[in-house]
Structure 1
């Protein structure tokens, strides 16, 4: 584990952790992040065991994780983050571009999915996009998913896991409902934070809770699920 430190003054810095057994990729991303004014590298891990041992202590806001780690699958780390770290998001960076790995990652809790042929500069941009409320995904992966789901009219009709189908809805709090309505209207997390006078980390926590209660893993699915449950009316958004 190699933990970096950098003074964070004058602007909100995104805390990033790297989990990958490829030293070449680790070093390239490390150098790029260290020179980026809006990103701060809090730690690096090369194995699943190493990452699981320190991720809670490091408290990253985004974990960039490979799926094929030498001692296990990155899916285990993604699931841990999704279940126990509501202020943190996972973005996959992997050589796997098949539907099975993509869907498994999303179901585990990943909110972004990039292949390793993505340029370093673009990866850093996607990290910022993720924290702003987006769900970045490599174009080739997006095309494959579109082809898979072509002909399906709405996101809530997409194939779901048994956990999602059997999910018992937990009512949203008043503030969660407020955030959900703003998400449905297209506001990004940073905009919602500004309008409500709270930090983006607070909004990210609310969004994570909303996703968990609705048993979804994306903004679009959350909106359609909420509409189906009668929590919002898309005609009013």
Structure 2
């Protein structure tokens, strides 16, 4: 079965890079592309791709807007940001908009392929520099909160997790993908997926990165 990919990017050089990179994987198929926010809003959702590669700097708007739209219209898809913006503000904004991965332009073809593979396996690929920024941000939120307040937030959040859901959550927070979690807990990949869906529902989020962020803010991990 082909993995279908839709590209939202206005730069033809980047477009050519993505196309040539995808040729290395005959089981991957580029099913369409948009060069503007308006075109993406009109056509991207209908493509029903497995993975959307999204640039944040579109000529007629912000890529975050199409991330929000696709996360609602196509909740089962993966949204991989592929952009030049390497600042914390855009990273956090993209995650909040529904991005499940964030890779900087200038990466090698192998790195882009790896990111797409990771995101399909349930991972949340983020360029290493940005991953450090995100971890520092999460730590600063947690460290600035008095222990009593952190415990109160966890208690008042109304979120009750089973022992197994907590196990899965901790491994997700450590960056493990579904297959690795299944091996560590000696359960099936399908069961891991079910637990993660329950975490999404209980924490009212749509991506793994958001799960970890909310869990840490509420003192659940």
Cα distance in 2 for partners of 1:171, 1:146 equals 25
Cα distance in 2 for partners of 1:196, 1:17 equals 30
In structure 1, the partner of 2:212 is 220
Unpaired runs of at least 5, structure 2: 147-156
Cα distance in 1 for partners of 2:201, 2:59 equals 30
The alignment status of 1:91 with 2:83, answered yes or no, reads no
Cα distance in 2 for partners of 1:149, 1:171 equals 22
Cα distance in 2 for partners of 1:135, 1:47 equals 25
Q: Normalising by the residue count of structure 2, what TM-score does the alignment of the two structures yield?
A: 0.73
The alignment status of 1:32 with 2:21, answered yes or no, reads yes
In structure 1, the partner of 2:153 is none
In structure 1, the partner of 2:30 is 41
Offset, 1:191: 7.2
1:132 to 121, 124, 128: 121
Offset, 1:37: 3.3
Cα distance in 2 for partners of 1:212, 1:102 equals 23
Cα distance in 2 for partners of 1:57, 1:107 equals 23
Assess, with a 3 A threshold, how the Cα gap between structure 1 residues 197 and 99 changes in structure 2: closer, same or farther.
closer
In structure 1, the partner of 2:50 is 61
Cα distance in 2 for partners of 1:145, 1:192 equals 22
The CA deviation string for residues 181-203 of structure 1, in whole angstroms up to 9 with x for no partner, is: 6743747445789x6686x9xx4
Cα distance in 2 for partners of 1:77, 1:170 equals 30
Offset, 1:146: 3.3
Unpaired runs of at least 5, structure 1: 1-7, 158-167, 229-233
The alignment status of 1:115 with 2:104, answered yes or no, reads yes
Q: Normalising by the residue count of structure 1, what TM-score does the alignment of the two structures yield?
A: 0.68
In structure 2, the partner of 1:76 is 65
Task: Name the structure with the higher helix share.
Answer: 2
CA contact (8 A) 2:103 2:126 kept: yes
CA contact (8 A) 1:63 1:90 kept: yes
Q: CA RMSD in A?
A: 3.5
The CA deviation string for residues 52-78 of structure 1, in whole angstroms up to 9 with x for no partner, is: 112222101111100010111110110
CA contact (8 A) 1:60 1:88 kept: yes
1:184 to 151, 156, 169: 169
Cα distance in 2 for partners of 1:60, 1:53 equals 14
